[in-house]
Structure 1
Amino acid sequence: MAPCLCTLTPLPSPSTSISKFILDQPCLSIIQTKCSTIKDLQIIHAQIIKTGLIKDTIAASRLLAFAATSPAADINYALMLFDQIQNPNLFIWNTIIRGFSRSSNPRMAVSLFIDMLIQLSVEPERRTYPSVFKAYAELGLARDGAQLHGRILKLGLQFDVYIRNSIVHMYANCGCFGEALELFRDGEDMDVVAWNSMILSLAKFGKVENARDLFDNMPQRSSVSWNNMISGYVRTGNWVEALSFFSIMQAEKIKPNEFTLVSLLNASAHLAALNQGEWIHDYIKKNRIELNVIMVTAIINMYCKCGSIEKAWQVFESASTKGLSCWNSMIMGLAIHGRENEAIELFSRLESSEFKPDDVSFISVLMACSHSRLVKKAKYYFSLMTKKYNIKPSIKHYGCIIDVLGRAGLLREAEMVIKSMPMKPDAVIWGSLLSSCRSYGDIKMGEWASRNLLDLGVDESCGHVLLSNVYAGEGDFEMAIQERMLMKEKGIEKNPGCSLIEVNGEVHEFLAGGRLHPQVQEIRLLLENLTLKVRDINFHNHDF
């Protein structure tokens, strides 16, 4: 609801200060109490212009503070307000710089800071600098930020806790860990914010073990410290470690935040750890955590990747807030679970919804077509994507259409698509074509695909193994053996297959031919017993 319009109160008596009179204006109090959107602010702004109050610095700064730093901030509107203020004071400069440092255009924060220095009407002070360092951190400009660090040293402000934290964050976020650690170690009383900045940045750059060392040595931890470690493990693909660390976190009675829960759902999805994923979903429901679009997407994705497509569907249909990512995850989930018709039907529903399909939507529906060899449908969606939605096909879209053609045995057509691609085909495309050549016995095209795959140098074993399978499939065992021998001569080893299984909430990993599992003897004994039982059953059936 828009705030009501207000009028100026009578002029103050001589005993009332002008500043108190301005602060008591209803228009200004409404900004803090009833203003919740930029539209509300515009109404108040118009009224303040009518009354002439806009010329006052206090009134202008209240408007600017809401436009630049509130949850409903509109930084472009804030800049327009700033440009209309004559002789902005220090608070106004700090507000607009802080607003841009948090925005999608942090470069403007640096530009405004330079303007502030050039104009010399107002001198920056300690509250100005953290926002500028944050902007340098977001821009990845540690070298430029180092010059500002030099200014801080000259001014003697290096011991200010907020400035020091922002400098540590800038260096760490830009990957300059030498400078960050030097400053970090020089500070005898570095607070938890600085420690958290280091942990988050180390994890961001894949140095998760270094992040864990810092975490273990923290004199004091906050919930952010724990959450940063989990997100670091997930970001670097250490999903088992992420779930194990979460168990420790639970034992310490530390509550996860929304971002951590999303990270844990993603870890459960990658490990196909359904029990763990269900527990996290139940935790979200029991604690009445708001199901925003990101959270709903993570839950759907987890259930899909853990094989529980029905639960994913229930979450999708019952979600009050659905984003495009929710639709895409559900379509993809249906496609990979062999429910292609439902995936295509859901895509049609998406087209009729408030959302427009994006490039991910089309990858999902093309995958559905691929799994059921719906060539005409795939061609239709590929054309729809480019002509109706003006989406430029990526290498993944080409990969899907080539896979559809290959699975349907249309190898010549797949070859034509590959040759017409505006970008160089990747290993996925050549591997897909090679698999199709094996299925349909096209040795000549298989050799062509294998050569191109080997030229990429991504995974040499893949090209040799697939081509060997093509030869073997056509009965040319001499050539099949030759490919295997060629691998041996080059010293190329086939990457072992890997599988994961969750038992009683614990995820177990198995490598083909691996013997490192702690219960490998028991597993082998059980398999031998099962083999004997199968042989016994076959013998009795044959005897009958």
Structure 2
Amino acid sequence: MAPSFCSLMSTPVAASTSISKFISDQPYLSLLETKCTTMQDLQKIQAQLIKTGLAKDPIAASRVLAFCATSPAGNINYAHLLFSQIESPNLFVWNTIIRGFSQSSTPQIAISLFVQMLVTSSIQPTTLTYPSLFKVFAQLGLARNGAQLHGRVIKLGLQADLYIRNTLLHMYANCGFLGEAWQLFGGEGEVKGEALDVVAWNSMIMGLAKCGEIDNARKLFDEMPGRNTVSWNSMISGYVRNGKCIEALELFREMEEEKISPSEFTLVSLLNASARLGALKQGAWVHDYIKLYKIEQNVIVFTAIIDMYCKCGSIETARQVFETAPIKGLSCWNSMILGLANNGCEDEAIELFSRLESASFEPDGVSFIGALTACNHSGLVDKANDYFALMTETYGIQPSVKHYGCMVDVLGRAGMLEEAQELIKSMPMNPDAIIWGSLLSACQRYENIEMGKWAGKHLIELDSSESSGHVLLSNVYAAAGHFGKSLQERISMKDRQIEKQPGCSLIEVNGQVHEFVAGGRLHPCASNIFSLLNGCP
């Protein structure tokens, strides 16, 4: 007869030794610990445990549950079924199922289980219980709810636990509660990061970058007592997130000088930065780096590579990467469809969308944005209407503001201004600046002053300090020959001190990206450039 769980738990050291001996004495439990790699393996072993009567033993049941709940090869739904059949779950069992759901696609169930644990059992949570819950609140963006659990942790005197403190800090930082996160990190009155490890520093940097405080994130990054790959990646991805792509590439060069090996996440951030800058040579170098050092090429990496080549205008290379990719996620298809549509290959984009419908994937909202963009660029109004109907009626996808934006643009370009106006009025959400701008541009092209005034009024209402609405409305008046009103709109901008943002361009020279602003002389080589231009015939 198997020994009882209580008899094995007299002291922690004795418990560990006794449990290990108990497992080693049971051949099927030993197989579970050493040879079980799939759910099929697990179910075969579980069948033998049931035959021998060992399945009801708390240790055996907890080990089976742990594999199902926390192993990458496990099945959280099967784990939940097993959990429901355990008569008196112990603390290890409760922690295992809560942790399993915290890492699943339905993390909110972990919170329900925690409440169930408090209400239906006499088991009290420990320091190993709370981190999983704070991770759930972080993932769901529910820091206010997590703050209530934080209060419980303080009452129990558990806040000093490093793991709890780190997950709390991550929750607040990830949800944008920077004041609370900063307080846990150290705040102004103490030594920042005192008694905290690199995980806490990384969480604080990621939180600052996510909230747009990228300069403060960099300041903290520079002050770190020790950095790991996550630290560098957090800072690089933070720069990309905040549109500072040149700074991201410069920081990567520093990372290379420090001889820190980049992870796949770092390289994806660099590919995104290269895509935004149109830095083809830099992006191709990253692609070569991935191949040379055999970085794992998963769906995320392939999507970033395809997206980079598309946005840098190298559509044939993007197509080659797409066609030869051993694994194609839906995101790969979407990037390729949108890339073809934006690079003058509208027919190929529509054809690829048809291939997607025939593949094992079901198109999503992003897929339809690609298809509608292709229709927009090629003026296929009827085809766009068909796609819009297909999306809503066949696939049940609720149109977003981007889908409406594509439809307004395609109608406006075709001169169907009344139809575009009616579509805007029927939108269940408020139109954004892109939609009003598209309609205004169409009004300028087709000299429709009244509708232009209507669209311009709404665009200016969204942000009266933004110059685009005033400039577009001025252009509508000018296109219709109303030069006095056009000039009046420009004077109004000047009176309100609204400045038109100067245009800029980017070029890549020897792998380095240079930005030039219209009329600007801030580039370090500006004097030499203007001397050369002035000498040109």
Question: Structure 2 vs 1, CA of residues 27 and 510 (structure 1 numbering), >3 Å: closer, same or farther?
Answer: same
1:516 aligns with 2:517: no
Quick one: distance in 2 between partners of 1:180 and 1:450? 42
- CA shift for structure 1 position 67: 1.1
Structure 1 stretch displaced more, 434-443 or 289-298: 434-443
- CA shift for structure 1 position 178: 4.0
Structure 1 stretch displaced more, 47-56 or 36-45: 36-45
- CA shift for structure 1 position 24: 3.6
Aligned to 1:263, what secondary structure does the other structure show? helix
Quick one: distance in 2 between partners of 1:344 and 1:18? 61
What CA deviation, in whole Å up to 9, does each residue of 1:256-278 have, x standing for no partner? 11111111111111111111111
Paired residue for 1:150, among 154, 171, 176?
154
Question: Structure 2 vs 1, CA of residues 493 and 320 (structure 1 numbering), >3 Å: closer, same or farther?
Answer: same
Structure 1 stretch displaced more, 228-237 or 130-139: 130-139
- CA shift for structure 1 position 181: 3.7
Quick one: distance in 2 between partners of 1:18 and 1:305? 57
Question: Structure 2 vs 1, CA of residues 356 and 490 (structure 1 numbering), >3 Å: closer, same or farther?
Answer: same
For 2:314, the equivalent position in structure 1 comes to 308
Quick one: distance in 1 between partners of 2:419 and 2:137? 51
8 Å CA contact 1:343–1:368 kept in 2: the answer is yes
Quick one: distance in 2 between partners of 1:125 and 1:344? 56
- CA shift for structure 1 position 395: 2.0
For 2:396, the equivalent position in structure 1 comes to 390
- CA shift for structure 1 position 249: 0.3
What CA deviation, in whole Å up to 9, does each residue of 1:2-39 have, x standing for no partner? xxxxxx99xxxxxxx99846544343233334433334
Quick one: distance in 2 between partners of 1:392 and 1:159? 46
What CA deviation, in whole Å up to 9, does each residue of 1:201-255 have, x standing for no partner? 2222222222222222222222222122112222222211111111000011101
* Alignment-mate amino acid for residue 414 of structure 1: A
8 Å CA contact 1:269–1:306 kept in 2: the answer is yes
Q: Scaled by the length of structure 2, what TM-score is found? A: 0.89
Quick one: distance in 2 between partners of 1:169 and 1:70? 23
For 1:81, the equivalent position in structure 2 comes to 82
Aligned to 1:201, what secondary structure does the other structure show? helix
For 1:413, the equivalent position in structure 2 comes to 419
1:462 aligns with 2:463: no
Quick one: distance in 1 between partners of 2:151 and 2:19? 42
Quick one: distance in 1 between partners of 2:118 and 2:281? 58
For 1:293, the equivalent position in structure 2 comes to 299
For 1:62, the equivalent position in structure 2 comes to 63
1:347 aligns with 2:353: yes
Counterparts of 1:496-511 in structure 2, within 5 Å, are 496-511=502-517
Counterparts of 1:237-256 in structure 2, within 5 Å, are 237-256=243-262
- CA shift for structure 1 position 90: 2.7
Structure 1 stretch displaced more, 23-32 or 50-59: 23-32
8 Å CA contact 1:331–1:344 kept in 2: the answer is yes
Quick one: distance in 2 between partners of 1:27 and 1:136? 37
8 Å CA contact 2:401–2:431 kept in 1: the answer is yes
Question: Structure 2 vs 1, CA of residues 122 and 307 (structure 1 numbering), >3 Å: closer, same or farther?
Answer: same
Paired residue for 2:409, among 383, 392, 403?
403
What CA deviation, in whole Å up to 9, does each residue of 1:427-481 have, x standing for no partner? 2122112212222222232223222322333664222211222222233322222
* Alignment-mate amino acid for residue 506 of structure 2: L
* Alignment-mate amino acid for residue 151 of structure 2: Q
- CA shift for structure 1 position 144: 1.2
1:487 aligns with 2:488: no
Structure 1 consecutive aligned stretches of length 4 or more whose deviation exceeds 6 Å: none
Quick one: distance in 1 between partners of 2:172 and 2:421? 49
* Alignment-mate amino acid for residue 291 of structure 2: K
Quick one: distance in 2 between partners of 1:77 and 1:498? 56
Quick one: distance in 2 between partners of 1:200 and 1:480? 46
8 Å CA contact 1:196–1:224 kept in 2: the answer is yes
For 1:229, the equivalent position in structure 2 comes to 235
* Alignment-mate amino acid for residue 344 of structure 1: I
Q: Count how many residue pairs are aligned between Structure 1 and Structure 2.
A: 514
8 Å CA contact 1:430–1:453 kept in 2: the answer is yes
Gaps of 5+ in 1: 1-7, 10-16, 534-544
* Alignment-mate amino acid for residue 420 of structure 2: A
8 Å CA contact 2:173–2:208 kept in 1: the answer is yes
Question: Structure 2 vs 1, CA of residues 333 and 90 (structure 1 numbering), >3 Å: closer, same or farther?
Answer: same
Structure 1 stretch displaced more, 458-467 or 182-191: 182-191
What CA deviation, in whole Å up to 9, does each residue of 1:387-436 have, x standing for no partner? 22222222221221221122122223323323333333222122112212
8 Å CA contact 2:376–2:406 kept in 1: the answer is yes
Question: Structure 2 vs 1, CA of residues 389 and 124 (structure 1 numbering), >3 Å: closer, same or farther?
Answer: closer
Aligned to 1:393, what secondary structure does the other structure show? coil
Gaps of 5+ in 2: 3-17
For 2:429, the equivalent position in structure 1 comes to 423
Paired residue for 2:197, among 170, 191, 208?
191
For 1:166, the equivalent position in structure 2 comes to 167
Question: Structure 2 vs 1, CA of residues 220 and 44 (structure 1 numbering), >3 Å: closer, same or farther?
Answer: same
For 1:329, the equivalent position in structure 2 comes to 335
1:207 aligns with 2:213: yes
Quick one: distance in 1 between partners of 2:137 and 2:337? 40
Question: Structure 2 vs 1, CA of residues 307 and 27 (structure 1 numbering), >3 Å: closer, same or farther?
Answer: same
* Alignment-mate amino acid for residue 456 of structure 1: L
- CA shift for structure 1 position 330: 0.6
Quick one: distance in 2 between partners of 1:458 and 1:149? 47
Aligned to 1:245, what secondary structure does the other structure show? helix
What CA deviation, in whole Å up to 9, does each residue of 1:278-332 have, x standing for no partner? 1110110011112111111100101111111111111101101001111111111
Counterparts of 1:36-47 in structure 2, within 5 Å, are 36-47=37-48
Paired residue for 1:362, among 350, 368, 388?
368
Question: Structure 2 vs 1, CA of residues 487 and 169 (structure 1 numbering), >3 Å: closer, same or farther?
Answer: closer
Quick one: distance in 2 between partners of 1:177 and 1:419? 39
